[in-house]
Structure formats: structure tokens, C-alpha cells
Chains A and B, each alone.
Chain A
Amino acid sequence: MRLLRKLGLAATAWLLALGAASADTTVKWLHIEVNPAQVKIWEEVARAYEASHPGVKIEMQFLENEAYKAKLPTILQSKDRPHIIYSWAGGVLKAQVEAGVLEDITDSVKSGGYSDTIAPAALAAFTQNGRVFGLPVALSQVGFLYNKDLMAKGNVDAGKIKTWDDLLGAVKTLKAAGVTPIVVGGADKWPLHFYWTHLAVRVGGKPAFDAALKGENGGFAGETFQKSGELFKQLVDLQPFQNGFLGFKNPQAVGYFGDGKAAMILAISSFYHTQRALAADKVGLSDDKLGWFDFPVVPGGKGEPSDTLGGITGWLITKGAPKEATDFLKFFISKDVQARLASGNFIVPVVKGGEAGLNSAFMKRIADNLSKSNYHQNFYDQSLGPSVGRVVNDVSAEIAGGSMNPQDAAKAIEAAWKQGN
């Protein structure tokens, strides 16, 4: 009897607590950011929002990157799903929209001229059939970071690397001088897919990618994509990478570059800063030792030299989220917060005026490149969705490992595309 009474009391208390909690709105925000400095700023923004909006609580949840990708379909279909989730746009976003697990926030975003403050290309990445499902937060560019000391040691003038052949020449010279030309995190595969995909951007430009999506010109098995593989193989045949590159994970590789052990790395622009934390001494290479050149052009290629490959990341609002979630997201993706994140070198902003916060010459240069780019290709492994994107990663690693020829690689991607669509 006493036990029953206790249980009854507990149940009542629980119901009361539930009632009290539901008087307020809690916005659940799921992120994958591992840099504590950036999370700290987010926390502060969340607390500031709470202070100006009584009754709203912003609750941050964290999942590790790979775990997040694997769990997302399940999370999104549970009743307890978070309200704001991280996204790389592309094929995954498309699948989520089709499954109806995202909230259409078009009206809220368009109201009061808010959407006009955001770079149109970035917003378009989170728009499907004219409806907006999320907001972009940052852009990045893929290009070569180089170590000025090591380039000097090999007598290579990085400023003169403009074409693919220039790059091949530089690799040969560096090797002859006993310098490891390029470091890459081959075990993760996607750092290798940058080579293949950026070559495709240079060889075929936007028209080739669009045609492949429609299955024209042989799709992904077509000439452009075979050519990309062949050019990539020219580089691979020079053995430009560090010993055991297929066993290196990306953080290891970036750290290796930060330790000053290799002359170049094909990097996402954010590696400029992460190489410091990942270097063995936690100091890495200082600004005066670091250089950047854009991915070389391919003679006769149809892509513009200003075309860029990179990421478009942002946040999505899930189905049934309270309107406060969208409101907070608009608060988070505003000029002031963007400028603040930009000044910490965490992002290349997408909100107009946010670039005022950029204070390093390097980040300004990347922002400038991106603003001049007419064709910003999202990472293939995101834009094609995971089922095809990971095949692009696979075949890039196989070409690099010498176990697949460029023609079979292109065919494998086309086969995966056909299986998935």
C-alpha cells in the first residue's frame, strides 16, 4: 500500500513538472561542432536570445559527425526530434524534403525582407521547388594550402602554379628536392574526392554536371568524368603523397601539414585554422608561413577559372518545430552574429554585411573568391546524396591507390547513380 501511495505521489509530481515545463517553449538545437571556441559563441548567442525572449529556452545537443549522419533518418522520424539540425544541403536535404520531415519556413524567411539579407546562391541551396526549409550559415572553398618554407626549399614558386601541368611540374621538382609534395587523409576518402571532383569542375564546368544529372552525354560515365579521372591519375602516377597516405585520416593529415612535413594539402579553407589545433605542438604553421593558391585550371577545360568547389552548410527546421525555432534561427543568422563568427575566423559569412567581421587577409581572399564565383559546386558527396556521393569517394580512393582505372571509376559512379535514382 505504501509503495502504491509513493508511486501515486511520484506520478502526480511528474505530471505537475510536465505542466510547468510546457508553459515555456524549449527549442532543441542539435549540432556537430567540435571546436569549443565556436560553441562558446553559440552558447552566448543562445543565452542572449533567451534573455530578450522570456519563456523560450534554447537547448543545445551534440552528436559526433559520422554518428549524426548515420542516426539522422531515425532521429527525424521520432516524436522527440530536435527542432534545428545541421545540414550540408544537397541530396540528403532533397530526400528529407521528399519524406516530409522538414518544416516549410518560406513565409517566415520572406517576411520583413529577411531573405534579402542572405546571399542568394547560399539560400538557393536550402530551397526546394521554391520553398525554403532552412538557412545557410557558412561557405567554404577548396584549394591548395602550401608551406612557404618547403616550397622555397624545393625552389617552387607557388604563385606560378596556374595549370594542372604546373602542379605536376611542381610535384616533380619537390620530389627531386626530397620534399613530400602533398599530404592527404586517404583513409577518409573524401579528401581524395576533392581532386577528382575539382578536376571535373574545371574540365566540364556547370553544364557537364547538370547534363550528368539528367543522364545526358553518358551521365557520370561521360567524357568529362573520364577525363577527370585520367588527369587525377597523372598526378597519382608521380606518387605525390606522403607514405601510407591511404591509412591517414583527415585530422592526422591536416596535423601532418601543420607539423611542416609536407609542402601542400588540398584543403577546405577552414583547414587554414584547424591545422594549428591538429599539429603536434598545437601551434602549427603561422600566417607568414602559409600560402594559398586556387585549384589549377585545365587547358581546354570548359569550366571558368573562377568556378569554385566547396561546402554550403546551414541549419534546417524540422516538421512540427515551434515557431520560436525559426525565429531563433533568424536571430542566429543575422549580420551581427555572422560578423562575430567571421572575426573569429570560423566562417565565411552568408549574410550581407557579415564580411565586415573578417579580419584576416586569408579569409577575406576566400570570401572574395566566393563572391566572384558564378558556379559554386557543393561537395559531390553531399550534393549527390550519400548513396552516390560515397561511391565518388570510393573510386577517387581507388584511383589514388591504383586499383581502378579512370574509365571504370566513371562507370561505377554512373551505375550507382542509376541504382539510386
Chain B
Amino acid sequence: MARRIASSPSLGLVDAAATAPVAVRGPAWDSRYTVLILFLPPALLLFTLFVVLPIGEAAWYSAFNWNGFGKPTNWIGLDNYRFVLETRAFWLALRNNGLIIAVSLLIQLPLALTLALMLAERFRGAVALRMLFFLPYILAEIATGLIFSFVYDGDYGLVASIWRFFGAEAPHLLASTDTAMLAILIVIVWKYFGFHMMLFIAALQSLDKNLVEAARIDGATRSQVLRHIVVPLLYPTIRLSVFFAIIGSLQLFDLVMPLTRGGPADSSNTLVSFLYNNGISRMRVGYGSAVGVILFTICVTFAFTYKRWFMRDE
């Protein structure tokens, strides 16, 4: 988000300067000046108000031991960061975010791509199937979480009935440190694969069919066409999809809360739910801010690196 807002004024500048007829008549700097005055302030204001200031404030608060009442006065320097790094639950949360990214990349995206390849073609029921797979994405996160907390319930849930059908005693998936995160990962894949599938279908439908046809005429098999033509042409979309998956997983919060609230024993916290549970609900504003700054640093580093390395030409 930050990246896009930041770059829009400069884009506007280049476009307007290049295409505006005024640029030809008057001195060049003059029109650029007009454009700057017109287009820079709104974006700059929004960016400053909603991105720069809050982050700056968080960085400032993170140097205090402060419970949110009155003004922060108890300056403790970098101690909050040390406290965060000494918290076992923080590392568990970081590990869980890593797990979510891994599952998104290794299971969710391949699944979405496979389904997209199957459903991009026109056949009876294709549209209906697409809608069906896309539906989970439309559901609100909180609602999804509540639904699945019933599905997973070890006494009354769907999973429990399936287990019992086979004569086994049903596990309480969300109540065990070993399985809680696994249960959440399943929900994540279920909820978001449809979104990525739709991205891929859109890309597949705008592919240049001539290339595929030409390859076919040259005698390429289906799998060769797929490997050497279709997938390479999808790379821009795949890169975008990966970007969304990673940023989405770093921000994940509202699915976790109704399912486990990060428990048991912090085994299913994500960074954001860790921030909420350990910062906000404990009224440790300084500590929470420190977590926020760390999370922000991770996101920004990732976004810039990714853009630089993988999305250079877009």
C-alpha cells in the first residue's frame, strides 16, 4: 500500500509532463511545477497522515514503558525490543508466519494454478465451479473462523463425526499445541486458494492464443506447451500472487482470533495476533509498538527486496 501511494505522484509527474500539450508551449519547469502542486499534496498528505506519522509515533512509543494512560514518561531506550526478543512466544509467532508463507507458496499456489489451468477453458459448469472455489474468499474472516471453530469442535463438530464414523475418538484439533497451527493452515489454504485461482484464470484468458496454437502446430505435446509456453507467460501473475500471499500471511490476524486466539500456549499466534495479545490487551503500549516496528521493518524490507529482485520489469 505504502509503496503504491509513494510512487503515484512521480508517475503522475512523468505521464503529465510527457503528454500534456502545455509542456510544448511553456517552459518545461513551469508545467512540472503545476503538476507538482496539483498532484503531490493529496498523496503526500495521505501518506504522511496515515503511514509516516503512525510509524513514527510507534517508533517513539517503543522507547517507553507506557500503559497508555497520560503521556509516556518512563524512557527505557531499546529495552522493549530486548523484551520482545526474549519472549518465546514472539519466536513462535515468527515461526508460524514462516509456516504460513511456506504453505501458501508450496501448497496453495500450486493448487490454485492447477485448478486455474483446468477451469480457464470454456466447458459446461466451468463458471459455476469457479464461483464455488471463489466463495470462501468472499466470506468474512471472522465468520470463517467461527464456522471452522464449530467444524473442528471435538465434541460436536464435523471433524469429530467423521472420526467417530470410523470408530476413533475425535481429537480436539484446536486445543493441542501440536495441531492448532495445522488446523489454521488448512483454513488459510481453503479460504485463499480461490483468490489466487481467479488471478491465474484472468491471466490465462488474456494469454496470446496464437503462441499456444503455433507450438501445437510445431508438434509440442500438452505438457510441453504448459511447461514452455503457458507457465512462463504466467510468470508476472505468479510473482504478483506470491507477493500477495506473503504480505497477506504477514498480516494474518482475523482468522486466528476466533479459532484459537493464538493459543494453546501461544502455539498458533501470528505476529499480528501476538502484538494484540501481548501489547494491546496487556496495555503495554511501548512493547506493542516495538512489535509493530519490527513487523513494519519485516514488511518493508520484504516489499522493497521483492520488488527489486523479482518485479523489476513491471
Measured in the bound complex, the distance between the Cα atoms of B68 and A96 in whole Å is 10
**Chain A residues with Cβ under 8 A from B21's Cβ?**
none
Q: Is B83 an interface residue (CB 8 A)?
A: yes
Q: Which 8 A-B pairs have the closest CB atoms?
A: A244-B172, A247-B175, A99-B69, A73-B68, A244-B175, A246-B264, A99-B70, A246-B175
Nearest Cβ in chain A — how far from B129, in angstroms?
34
Residues A387 and B176 in contact in the complex (CB < 8 Å), given A96-B69, A101-B69, A247-B154: no
A420 touches B65 (CB 8 A): yes
Q: Is B196 an interface residue (CB 8 A)?
A: no
Nearest Cβ in chain B — how far from A252, in angstroms?
9
B67 touches A95 (CB 8 A): yes
A397 touches B265 (CB 8 A): yes
**Chain A residues with Cβ under 8 A from B154's Cβ?**
243-244, 247
Q: Is B282 an interface residue (CB 8 A)?
A: yes
B281 touches A69 (CB 8 A): yes
A387 touches B67 (CB 8 A): yes
B263 touches A397 (CB 8 A): yes
- Contact for B281 among A186, A245, A390, CB less than 8 A: A390
B175 touches A186 (CB 8 A): yes
Q: Is B275 an interface residue (CB 8 A)?
A: no
A387 touches B283 (CB 8 A): yes
What is the interface of chain A, defined by CB distance below 8 A to chain B?
Answer: 66, 69-70, 73-74, 76-77, 92, 95-96, 98-101, 186-187, 189, 243-248, 385-387, 390, 394, 397-398, 401, 403-404, 419-420
- A-B residue pairs in contact (CB < 8 Å), sample of 18: A66-B281, A74-B68, A186-B264, A189-B263, A246-B175, A246-B176, A246-B177, A246-B263, A247-B172, A247-B180, A247-B260, A247-B264, A386-B282, A387-B284, A394-B265, A397-B265, A398-B265, A404-B265
Measured in the bound complex, the distance between the Cα atoms of B281 and A74 in whole Å is 13
A247 touches B174 (CB 8 A): yes
**Chain B residues with Cβ under 8 A from A398's Cβ?**
265
In the complex, the chain B residue whose C-beta lies closest to that of A96 is: B69
When A and B form their complex, what is the total count of cross-chain residue pairs whose Cβ atoms lie within 8 Å? Answer: 88
A95 touches B281 (CB 8 A): no
Nearest Cβ in chain B — how far from A187, in angstroms?
6
What is the interface of chain B, defined by CB distance below 8 A to chain A?
Answer: 65, 67-70, 83, 154-155, 169, 171-172, 174-177, 180, 260-261, 263-266, 280-284
Interface centre among A96, A99, A387, A397 (most CB of B within 10 A): A387
Given contacts A187-B263, A247-B175, 17 further A-B contacts (CB under 8 A): A69-B281, A73-B68, A77-B69, A96-B69, A100-B70, A186-B175, A187-B175, A243-B155, A244-B154, A244-B171, A246-B175, A246-B263, A246-B264, A385-B67, A390-B281, A394-B265, A404-B265
**Chain A residues with Cβ under 8 A from B68's Cβ?**
73-74
**Chain A residues with Cβ under 8 A from B171's Cβ?**
244
A98 touches B69 (CB 8 A): yes
Measured in the bound complex, the distance between the Cα atoms of B280 and A328 in whole Å is 32
**Chain B residues with Cβ under 8 A from A420's Cβ?**
65, 284
Residues A387 and B69 in contact in the complex (CB < 8 Å), given A397-B264, A401-B177: no
Measured in the bound complex, the distance between the Cα atoms of B260 and A401 in whole Å is 15
Residues A73 and B67 in contact in the complex (CB < 8 Å), given A246-B176, A247-B154, A390-B282: yes
**Chain B residues with Cβ under 8 A from A244's Cβ?**
154-155, 171-172, 174-176
Nearest Cβ in chain B — how far from A294, in angstroms?
29
Nearest Cβ in chain B — how far from A312, in angstroms?
20
**Chain A residues with Cβ under 8 A from B266's Cβ?**
394
**Chain A residues with Cβ under 8 A from B282's Cβ?**
386-387, 390
Measured in the bound complex, the distance between the Cα atoms of B66 and A77 in whole Å is 14
Measured in the bound complex, the distance between the Cα atoms of B169 and A95 in whole Å is 48
**Chain A residues with Cβ under 8 A from B172's Cβ?**
243-244, 246-247
Nearest Cβ in chain A — how far from B73, in angstroms?
11
In the complex, the chain A residue whose C-beta lies closest to that of B172 is: A244
Measured in the bound complex, the distance between the Cα atoms of B223 and A388 in whole Å is 60
**Chain A residues with Cβ under 8 A from B284's Cβ?**
387, 420
In the complex, the chain B residue whose C-beta lies closest to that of A404 is: B265
Nearest Cβ in chain A — how far from B69, in angstroms?
3
Residues A248 and B265 in contact in the complex (CB < 8 Å), given A66-B281, A187-B260, A390-B281: no
Nearest Cβ in chain B — how far from A289, in angstroms?
22
Residues A401 and B265 in contact in the complex (CB < 8 Å), given A98-B69, A186-B175, A419-B83: yes
A73 touches B69 (CB 8 A): yes
Nearest Cβ in chain A — how far from B274, in angstroms?
12
Nearest Cβ in chain A — how far from B79, in angstroms?
8
In the complex, the chain A residue whose C-beta lies closest to that of B82 is: A419
**Chain A residues with Cβ under 8 A from B261's Cβ?**
187
Measured in the bound complex, the distance between the Cα atoms of B177 and A398 in whole Å is 10
Nearest Cβ in chain A — how far from B235, in angstroms?
42
Measured in the bound complex, the distance between the Cα atoms of B274 and A368 in whole Å is 42
- Contact for A248 among B169, B175, B176, CB less than 8 A: B175
A245 touches B70 (CB 8 A): no
In the complex, the chain A residue whose C-beta lies closest to that of B281 is: A70
Nearest Cβ in chain A — how far from B122, in angstroms?
46
Nearest Cβ in chain B — how far from A205, in angstroms?
28
Residues A76 and B263 in contact in the complex (CB < 8 Å), given A70-B281, A243-B172, A390-B282: no
Measured in the bound complex, the distance between the Cα atoms of B73 and A241 in whole Å is 45
Measured in the bound complex, the distance between the Cα atoms of B175 and A245 in whole Å is 7
Nearest Cβ in chain A — how far from B229, in angstroms?
49
A386 touches B70 (CB 8 A): no
B281 touches A403 (CB 8 A): no
In the complex, the chain B residue whose C-beta lies closest to that of A187 is: B263
In the complex, the chain A residue whose C-beta lies closest to that of B76 is: A419
Nearest Cβ in chain A — how far from B93, in angstroms?
14
Measured in the bound complex, the distance between the Cα atoms of B204 and A146 in whole Å is 64
**Chain A residues with Cβ under 8 A from B174's Cβ?**
244, 247
**Chain B residues with Cβ under 8 A from A187's Cβ?**
175, 260-261, 263-264
**Chain A residues with Cβ under 8 A from B175's Cβ?**
186-187, 243-248
**Chain B residues with Cβ under 8 A from A397's Cβ?**
263-265
